[in-house]
Amino acid sequence: MSDVDTATLWLIFGQIGEQWNNGQYCDMPQAQFAEAIARQVGLDPSYIGYYNAAVSEYQTLLEQCGGNQQQALQILFQQNQVPIPPSPNVSDIANYVLLEFMRWQVAFGGFRAFGYENYNGWMGGGSFLQVPPPYRALNDE
């Protein structure tokens, strides 16, 4: 998708698993991530602006951090604390990009590290892209 830098968004998405120490459990491949980005933009074109703002802020931080990706990503998340529930008093990056990516990380297996217990307040409603999250496929024992 030429309007959005999905490779940089993928780096931002990966930082969630890094911070939560559960990235190895997330089953969302990069190609599916890119499809999800395209779908969001198709549903709401204003997401182009949200995604591009996140990429731009990350690139500015990367430059300020002398090319240190890890440091730039950590600062990006620190400066855009994600509210639960979403709040109009925080940045669009936090409300529309980071919160969304956190939901995707959880939905695609990220909470497997926690014994499939529900993150309070995170998993209401249906599954993303009509693909059931792994916890819905577990056999009852």
Instruction: Please tell me which residue, 4 or 55, carries the higher pLDDT value.
Output: 55
Diameter over CA atoms, the chain: 52
Mean confidence (pLDDT) of the chain: 80
Position 113 scores a pLDDT of 65
Give, in degrees to the nearest 5, the angle at Cα 63 between 32 and 52. Answer: 40
Q: Is 21 exposed, middle or buried (0-12, 13-18, 19+ CB in 10 A)?
A: exposed
Position 38 scores a pLDDT of 94
Residues 82-139: tens digit of each pLDDT: 766 767 778 899 989 999 998 899 888 776 666 655 544 444 443 344 444 444 444 4
How many Å apart are CA 116 and CA 141, to the nearest integer?
14
Determine the residue type at 39. Answer: R
Give mean pLDDT, residues 43-60: 96
| Cβ atoms of residues 74 and 24 within 8 Å | no
Instruction: Please tell me which residue, 5 or 121, carries the higher pLDDT value.
Output: 5
How many Å apart are CA 129 and CA 32, to the nearest integer?
10
Position 72 scores a pLDDT of 96
